[in-house]
Structure 1
Amino acid sequence: MHDFATALREPRLSPCCISRNGTRPDNPSCSVRCRPRSGRCRLAIVHLIDSTMLRFENLSKRFGERVIFQGLHHASGAGCVALCDENGSGKSTLLGILAGAIDADEGEVWLDGHSLRTDALKAKSALAYVPDDCMAYPFQTGRAFLELVASTKKTVVDARTLDFAHRFGLAPHLEKRFEQMSLGTRKKIFLTATMLGEPAVVIADEPGNGLDAAARAVLIDLFRNLAKDSAVFFSSHDLQLARACEAKVTSFADLGMAVCGVVGLRSPVTRPSMATSTGRDCARAWRP
């Protein structure tokens, strides 16, 4: 245990320097000077890397002269994480970056081990994304959207997915166009789509917005089920919802001082008083 804890804090060790079998490969692109570790420590580190589904390092974003955030780090496997922070802090911007809908100024995101920057097709195939407004396709019906997502994931809209749709009360709305739906109905359809294709990573921006008490209960059940096998990362201003989903609660301050992969590198985070967010292009995130 002491060796593993020391390795996690070791500022000289980089994830790129560890191979899948726990040894140090010859990596000419790595500028970090690495020291060998004990066998038990190396195996523990490799197990941590293998189980990580969502990881981002050194993420930074600014709009003009305004810094929204910088130096954000996070790594997680299966389970729920809720980003709870003040309005205007940049939550939607961060989630848009994690979904590939917004470009970061610096840093990198990995979804199920695939880089959004260098391997976007494989990264997005592991992703389910629920944006804040859920208005990607105004003229598309709810049923057509579910079928499109299923086709993208190389699967079908199965009975389990339809069961959640019915529990959300979507039966009368599936033939409506998105432009005819309320925010809550659009949100329910995008949430239902997270059941398709067994995504490794689920990103959801304020998933409880527009939902009544009955729909929130279905959402909680959905996230608890997804979290058994997927990394669910969502933003919310509602701590009660986060706790009901059995989520680990985090903030921008935590992400700015979080463990960087398996290293213990720490980086300060700039917290602006207000942050503006560009419109989310969720079609870009859904489309590989």
Structure 2
Amino acid sequence: MLEVHNVSRSFAERLVLDDVNFTVPRGALTGFVGANGAGKTTTMRIIMGLLKASSGTVSLDGKPLEGDTRPHFGYMPEERGLYPKQPIIDQLVYLGQLHSLSRSEARRRAMELLARFGLDDRAKSKLESLSLGNQQRVQVAAALLHEPEVLILDEPFSGLDPIAVDSMSSILRDYASRGVPVLFSSHQLDLLDVLVDHLVIIQDGRILANASAEDLRASQATRHKLSLGADAGWLRDEPGVEVIDISGSRALVNFQTETDSQRVLREALSLGTVTEFAIHRPALADIYREIIK
């Protein structure tokens, strides 16, 4: 497990991270979400040793991270660092050799990753000849080349088309299944429900949530979805019912008690057709919006 303990960081007089604590479990994909300027990139740079924390520590499996540990990390920064006028395969092989791979092994792994991203036929192309989305895929391949023991990815899905998102998701899921702690940031909230096992929410340099996706869902008040054969506006006047949203014949509500829910169901049936009456499973994107309010 990767753990961030009581990490704070200031730039001049400005406190950017304020006593940040969270975990990145093994075997799970951990999403790191927050608005621009919330502190995600600064936190990732501290994990990677690129910035020094003003206070606090980062540990892996209970041991503080040292300089000889981080070379086994895979890191993709938000600011891309590959050379636009160099052939892709030459750059990947060079980076693999920097991680102590032989030239032949680096080339083999590079071609495997490029093939997985559908770019093996572009291996000898210059990076600048690729679309921005494909350049992003190459950048991710560079982070994965040396089979890292920890993955830290800053906005890996930025600029990717849906097919590339699927490829990226599959690769990250593979690494998590091997027990690799995977931390990635993203502004694409629609990805949370389909990809994230563990969620860390940061706002203004403070951690607002650090929990599994299921625990976060369970922490929310139980809501019910109703789809009726007529307008659902009458629910606003029902005792024991908190209306979250009503749109025509559809409603999202909280019931104070189970008795209230059964009474409302009977009332709805007496008024006409009920096509849906079910517990609403909240989306992680909606939970995120609730938490940061």
**TM-score w.r.t. structure 1 length?**
0.62
Structure 1 residue aligned with 2:70: 124
Q: Give CA-to-partner distance per residue, 1:29-60, whole Å, 9 cap, x none.
A: xxxxxxxxxxxxxxxxxxxxxxx2x1221111
Distance 1:169 1:193, change over 3 A: same
CA distance in 1, matches of 2:82, 2:111: 21
Partner of residue 6 from structure 2, selected from 58, 61, 75? 58
Q: Given the alignment of the two structures, is residue 70 of structure 1 paired with residue 18 of structure 2, yes or no?
A: yes
- Equivalent residue number for residue 45 of structure 2: 96
CA RMSD across the alignment: 2.8
Specify whether residues 173 and 95 from structure 1 end up closer, same or farther in structure 2 by C-alpha distance, changes over 3 A only: farther
Check conservation: 2:8, 2:55, Cα contact below 8 A: yes
Q: What residue in structure 2 maps to residue 243 of structure 1?
A: 193
Alignment of 1:1-288 (within 5 A): 52=1, 54-75=2-23, 76-111=25-60, 115-116=64-65, 119-121=66-68, 123-137=69-83, 140-155=86-101, 156-157=105-106, 159=108, 161-178=110-127, 181-229=130-178, 230-252=180-202, 255=207
* Higher-Rg member (1/2): 2
If each structure's strand is expressed as a fraction of its own residues, which one has the higher value? 2
The answer to whether the 8 Å contact 1:70/1:256 transfers is no
Q: Residue 134 and residue 56 in structure 1: after superposition, are their counterparts in 2 closer, same or farther (change >3 A)?
A: same
Contact residue 72 and residue 258 of structure 1 kept, 8 A? no
Match of 2:280 in 1: none
Matched residue SS, 1:67: strand
User: What are the superposed Cα offsets for residues 76-106 of structure 1, whole Å, 9 maximum, x if unpaired?
Assistant: 2232100111122121111122122222222
- The one-letter code sitting in structure 2 at the alignment partner of 1:70 is D
**What fraction of aligned residue pairs are identical, expressed as a percent?**
28
Kept in 1: contact 2:89–2:107 (CA 8 A):
no
Q: Alignment partner of 1:251: what SS?
A: strand
3-state secondary structure, aligned to 1:57: strand
Q: CA deviation at 1:202?
A: 0.1
Q: 1:157 aligns to what SS in structure 2? A: helix
Which consecutive residues of structure 1, in runs of 5 or more, have no partner in the other structure? 1-51, 260-272, 274-288
Unaligned runs of 5+ in 2: 212-291
SS, match of residue 145 in structure 1: helix
Deviation string 1:174-206 (CA, Å, 9 cap, x unpaired) is 334455655423321121234333312100001
Query: Residues 204 and 233 of structure 1 are in contact (CA less than 8 Å); yes or no, is this contact kept in structure 2?
Result: yes
Question: What SS does the aligned partner of 2:93 have?
Answer: helix
Contact (CA 8 Å) 1:72, 1:257: kept in 2 or not? no
> Structure 1 residues 177, 63: closer, same or farther in 2, change over 3 A?
farther
CA contact (8 A) 2:87 2:126 kept: yes
* Cα displacement string for residues 209-265 of structure 1 (whole angstroms, at most 9, x for unaligned residues): 011111111001011101112000011112222332243121126846769xxxxxx
Letter in 1 for 2:134: T
- Distance change >3 Å, CA 175–CA 104, structure 1 → 2: farther
Tell me, in whole angstroms, the C-alpha distance in 1 between the residues paired with 2:208 and 2:8. Answer: 10
Q: Number of matched residues?
A: 205
Separation (CA, whole Å) in 2 of partners of 1:177 and 1:65: 43
Which amino acid in the other structure matches residue 114 of structure 2? A
Shift of the 177–64 alpha-carbon distance from structure 1 to 2, 3 Å rule, reads: farther
